[in-house]
């Protein structure tokens, strides 16, 4: 349930900073852009500031070209802002901007079970299929009727975080929200085109690089893939072009958990973890300074590719357990 304190706080302010986690995904970007439009409709101004750029597939989202990216804060920060709204981020340090954000009162809106309740106001709903759904519910509480651009942004947030309604969080609440967003003007065709039919050529070439590294472990129920920096260079790809590629090895019959290791620097790897059913990769991610959801999480590890791959594969094998459920 949306706290009336949150609604009152948003109505009382006039200008808000909006941000999310490092390496923003579809739920982060869609929720930010959707919220900015919701607040604009009640006369509030916003500025979205993310440490990292969004993947190229989200560039068509209306308003994405006005997002401030990097560690340098937007003009007028912090004195011209009433509060910072942090979306889809379980801990403040995951924004990559924690020190700067400390200059403002924080409003924390999230659906991660392990959220640290770091805000002055905290609305944390682990049952929400996506933060985009929470933003839509907030719009309703504010008396806002969504226009089509806002609906597109929030529908994309929902689609990406439910894996196109394939993941376990594709609950009745998710489908009910999707129906309301489409009724408000979200275009299923348009959003699907952005997500599935507008891949940069470099992203497709990067997929080839990724699949060449595929390894299965133990009884085959764990798979790992890797993207060293050299793979991006060969493909002519940027970091954001790896968005969604992990779903390909995840789709292999018999695979219950998968890790994608992306090289950030020498012996420094970003971990993206995915699983099926009861296999909990969020617990694995927490051991590596990260977090997320049971079936989708991320973290970071240091070491050679061979050592990190071996260690993560072993941890995932432990999460998968024995074939008979032991």
Same domain as 149, residue 114: yes
**Containing structural domain, residue 19:** 4-196
Query: How is 194-258 classified by DSSP, letter by letter?
Result: HHHS---HHHHHHHHHHHTT-EEETTTTEEEEEE-HHHHHHHT--GGGGTTTTHHHHTSTT--EE
User: Mind listing the pLDDT tens digit for each residue in 25-79?
Assistant: 999 999 999 999 999 999 999 999 999 999 999 999 999 999 999 999 999 999 9
0.85 exceeded by pTM = yes
Confirm whether 42 is domain-assigned: yes
């994405």: which residue's tokens?
Answer: 64
326 pLDDT more than 70: no
In this prediction, residue 322 has a pLDDT band, given cuts at 50, 70 and 90, of low
Confirm whether 218 is domain-assigned: yes
Confirm whether 325 is domain-assigned: no
Last residue of a domain, one of 150, 174, 196: 196
Same domain as 251, residue 282: yes
CATH of residue 224's domain is 3.10.310.30
Same domain as 304, residue 262: yes
In this prediction, residue 3 has a pLDDT band, given cuts at 50, 70 and 90, of confident
Last residue of a domain, one of 166, 196, 226: 196
Same domain as 229, residue 148: no
Same domain as 206, residue 192: no
Same domain as 166, residue 36: yes
Percent of the chain with pLDDT over 70: 98
Number of independent structural domains in the chain: 2
Same domain as 131, residue 187: yes
């Amino acid at each position: 349930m949306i706290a009336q304190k949150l609604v009152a706080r948003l109505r009382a302010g006039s200008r808000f900073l909006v941000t999310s986690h490092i390496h923003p995904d579809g739920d982060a970007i869609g929720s930010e852009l959707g919220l900015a439009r919701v607040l604009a409709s009640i006369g509030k101004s916003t500025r979205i500031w993310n440490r990292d750029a969004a993947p190229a597939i989200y560039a068509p989202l209306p308003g994405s070209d006005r997002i401030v990216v990097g560690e340098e804060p937007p003009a007028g920060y912090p004195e011209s802002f009433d509060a910072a709204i942090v979306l889809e981020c379980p801990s403040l340090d995951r924004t990559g901007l924690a020190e700067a954000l400390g200059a403002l009162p924080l409003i924390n809106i999230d659906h991660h079970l392990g959220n640290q309740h770091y805000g002055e106001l905290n609305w944390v709903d682990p049952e929400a299929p996506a933060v985009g759904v929470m933003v839509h519910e907030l719009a309703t509480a504010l008396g806002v009727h969504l226009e089509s651009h806002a609906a597109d942004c929030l529908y994309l947030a929902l689609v990406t975080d439910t894996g196109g309604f394939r993941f376990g969080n594709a609950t009745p609440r998710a489908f009910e929200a999707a129906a309301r967003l489409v009724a408000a003007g979200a275009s299923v065709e348009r959003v699907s085109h952005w997500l599935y039919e507008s891949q940069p050529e470099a992203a497709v070439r990067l997929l080839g690089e990724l699949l060449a590294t595929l390894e299965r472990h133990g009884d085959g129920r764990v798979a790992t893939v890797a993207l060293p920096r050299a793979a991006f260079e060969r493909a002519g790809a940027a970091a954001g072009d790896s968005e969604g590629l992990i779903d390909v090895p995840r789709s292999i019959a018999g695979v219950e958990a998968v890790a994608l290791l992306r090289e950030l620097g020498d012996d420094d790897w970003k971990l993206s973890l995915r699983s099926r059913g009861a296999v909990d990769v969020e617990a694995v991610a927490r051991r590596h300074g990260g977090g997320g959801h049971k079936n989708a999480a991320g973290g970071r590890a240091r070491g050679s590719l061979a050592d990190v791959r071996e260690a993560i594969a072993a941890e995932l094998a432990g999460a998968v357990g024995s074939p008979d459920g032991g």
